[in-house]
Amino acid sequence: MSTWDAIVIGAGMGGLVTASQLAQRGAKVLVLEKYLIPGGSAGYFERSGYRFDVGASMIFGFGTQGTTNLLTRALAAVDEKLTTIPDPVQVHYHLPGDQQLRVHRDYGEFISELTQLFPQEKKGIRRFYDECWRVFNCLNSMELLSLEEPRYLLRIFAQKPLACLGLAAYLPWNVGTIARKHIRDPELLNFIDLECYIWSVVPANQTPMINAGMVFSDRHYGGINYPKGGVGQIAQKLADGLAKYGGEIHYQSRVNRIITAQGKAVGVECANGQIHHAKRIISNATRWDTFGHLLPDIPRSEQRWRKWYKPSPSFLSLHLGVRASAIPPGTDCHHVVLNDWAQMEAPYQTLFVSIPTLLDPDLAPEGYHIVHAFTPCWLADWEHLNPREYEQKKEALAGQVIERLLALFPRLDADLDYMEVGTPRTHRRFLGRIQGTYGPMPRRPLPGLLTMPFNRTSIPGLYCVGDSTFPGQGLNAVAFSGFACAHRVATDLGF
């Protein structure tokens, strides 16, 4: 038995930012991680000389200006930093009808290229994306901490009243409503749906405008920047910083339950029987895994939240090692491929492709590249297969993904050196997330971010952090959640 100021369940990005922020303020912090390394879906694994990112490699939050550069700020708080490589193109879209579009880091170039595809919507395009900039400029002018802390709210309102009022006006709105104010062309609206879907896994009418303001603008402001050594370096640096400030991470420490006393969260019990007590417990598990698994009872507030949100899909992932000759000169790092607008949300239809070795060649042996191709799908497609059926399905669907990749990289099949296939069962096993989910998604259009819960829960002493708390999914968003959670917990503890 041991006693801590705070215990964090899970060393994903939200948990690590929370833990490192608390340790930097002087709190005694313990992180319990069931896997061998930190990072969760922002981790890595190594095979045959390749270092693969577990999840996406399109990274926001490493800018050098403003306040939305949350990854830069999180590392700096614990005296750490990372070398990053700027990406001149956020994503190269391959759209229905053989259309292509690059989202350039330069905002003017992006608007110009989009306007060439939709010249009749020139004014509407500029007005919609400029409105996204208004949201971003409000966010980027203030320190982003806990909206549950009244003194912070009063202080920030006194300092930035217009920015606060500007954000409040957008809180109830989704992207689809704002886009339709300015744009009429149905195919352009389909494109904006896809712009939302590639990071929120829902179309524009279910994506909060606040989130879109951040993503659609920061890619041109702070930019997309890849960390040298791979995405897993972010978590490792945060773990190093946490240790520097006296915090601890115990790996291979699976938490089986949260211990309560008189209705308050007071500790955790691990699978090996170890019990740790703390003044505050912070769960970086999903809310579905926290309530109903780590805690058997599901409070009424969580039952209500489950009526609004459901787990989003997981992914079929192909991690490929290929000879450098497979990738034509001038290829962009990130691609999204969609053949039919009507199939955007259907399983195995929207294909994401990342080639991080175009930015950091050291992730692969000399003369080779990494290609990470992934497409959304559901655990139900995989759950009840026997081992033979499971392997056959993996082989068949991997073959279909390779066929689609050949349209971009005709030599890829001949130059293939290594392949590893992950499924929703893989994601569930290694990431410990219900159904291997990417995060929560609304069951229907909801009023913007107003239904997204903050970090405190209805159980005294228990907090949640990560993508099932405000402001939602994405590495920079869960970093925001970590800053907010640490601020709320530190205030409650008196640090």
Query: 60-77 pLDDT, tens per residue?
Result: 999 898 889 999 999 999
pLDDT tens digits for range 420-477: 999 999 999 988 899 999 889 999 888 888 888 999 999 999 999 999 998 988 888 9
Query: Model's pTM, two decimal places?
Result: 0.93
Instruction: Work out the pLDDT band at 2, boundaries 50, 70, 90.
Output: low
Predicted local distance difference test score (pLDDT) of residue 154: 85
Report the percent of the chain where pLDDT is more than 90.
84
H/E stretch holding 241 = helix 232-244
Work out the number of other CB atoms within 10 angstroms of the CB of residue 285: 26
**Is the predicted pLDDT of residue 149 greater than 90, yes or no?**
no
pLDDT tens digits for range 334-348: 999 999 999 999 999
pLDDT tens digits for range 382-432: 999 999 999 999 999 999 999 999 999 999 999 999 999 999 999 999 888
Predicted local distance difference test score (pLDDT) of residue 1: 55
Given the structure tokens 């190093």, which residue do they identify?
A: 240
Predicted local distance difference test score (pLDDT) of residue 160: 85
| Burial 221-251, CB ≥16 within 10 A → b, else e | bbbbbbbebbbbbbbbbbbebbeebebebee
What average pLDDT does range 289-315 have in this prediction?
A: 93
**Is the predicted pLDDT of residue 21 greater than 90, yes or no?**
yes
Average pLDDT, the chain: 94
| Residues 37, 251 contacting (CB under 8 angstroms) | yes
Predicted local distance difference test score (pLDDT) of residue 195: 96
Higher pLDDT, 159 or 221: 221
Q: How far apart are the first and last CA of the chain?
A: 24
| DSSP strands (E only) in 195-332 | 224-227, 248-250, 255-261, 264-270, 275-283, 309-311, 314-323
What are the sequence ranges of the domains in the chain? 2-42+67-83+229-309+448-493, 109-220
Distance (Å, rounded) from C-alpha 212 to C-alpha 66? 17
Identify the CATH number of the domain defined by range 2-42+67-83+229-309+448-493.
3.50.50.60
Phi and psi at 5, nearest 5°, equal -70, -45
Predicted local distance difference test score (pLDDT) of residue 81: 93
